[in-house]
Structure 1
Amino acid sequence: MISENISRIKSEIPDHVTLVAVSKYQSLEDTKAVLDAGVNDLGESKVQDFLKKYEVLGDRPRWHFIGHLQKNKVKYIIGKTFLIHSVDSIELIDVIERESKKQGIVTDVLLQLNLAREDSKSGILAENLDNVLEALPGYQFVRVKGLMAMGPLTQNNDKIREIFVELKKIYDRIKEESVDATIQMNYLSMGMTDDYTIAIEEGSNMIRVGRKIFS
């Protein structure tokens, strides 16, 4: 079933779009099935669950941490992730910088924006983004590789599309204006099970899909 679901999704998305299988809450057996089906990017949102899977699977997958990351948990995942999607404050960047420096590595992250301004979601508000961007050149061990956002909680596809259009405009602006190696716009992570087709239409090159893979 997992393999069939993945084949169906892959047939729907362009080659340049990375499929991140959201393996949070899934068993180790089902997570391995995703890897066996040819998807190497796995998304986890709880540090404890991630570490349990990492103990078994190690660096076989490219691990994406996609959930809200508490500052006191950063030290446990540094050096183990391909991308941390959910960086939503300078304070969190400070901790990632410090823990990465201890290991002598550069940690790649995405800035999470809350364009829908929903209280239930974490993320940098649009009006605060420039302050974060201006601070980034001061960091040596954190590299911003793109942006991430979630679509609004609504059945209205027009409203979802509006958010994705806005995020793509911000992404393009940063990509055009940035001259610092700390800021590299490579990944636009937007789109989940219910809205990834809209996200791809509006320029996403990385989608995070869980339910449609595992159900």
Structure 2
Amino acid sequence: MTRLDAFPVSPHLPAGQPGLRERRREQTNVEISETALTLFEHKGVEATTVGEIAQAAGVSQRTFFRYFATKEEAALRDHWAFEAVLTAGLDRLDSDMSPRLALETSFAAALTTYSDSSSIASRRLLRVNKLIKKEPTLRAVLARASVARNATLVDAVSKRFDCSELQIRLAVDVSIAVLRAALETWVDRSSTDETANLPETYSTARTLAYM
């Protein structure tokens, strides 16, 4: 069975009240990711090497690999953080609802983290997803990771609901499709509207999906 902690997230995201050493590690993590994003935006993923990222971030390649397994993972750090936010409430799904409604309600609650379009979290999520949109290499990484993610969701829903396997899989697949459509629409709208709001876009997507 796939564990909830199998969801693909960076193992270096902060938790609780970290000490000085952990804060320094987190700062290095952010700096490497920021550097990778900047280089990818200017040169593209394929044309950028780990060595270039490390040099620009002021760290050795050895240090780079202490934080990230690949250059793509470094760029996707904030997307992994987004998906970690989404899965934080999976053990509290409301079993009085249908599986799909429970998942969507959980997602909607998690997306309040991105209610402020000007927040650091929102801006970073927007930035990385703009890059994902134009970089097939990053989309391929996410496509591979989605297999584990969907298995995690199916496992979580199976533990909370006494439903058929088909109903559970449909609930997961449809919920993820609605979320993905909302995320991509938000990214597109943000190009011309700085006030575009991810939670509101997701709410609209849910309404349209039920029509």
TM-score, normalised by the number of residues in structure 2: 0.29
| Rg (Cα) greater in structure | 2
Greater share of helix residues, 1 or 2?
A: 2
Decide which structure has greater strand share: 1
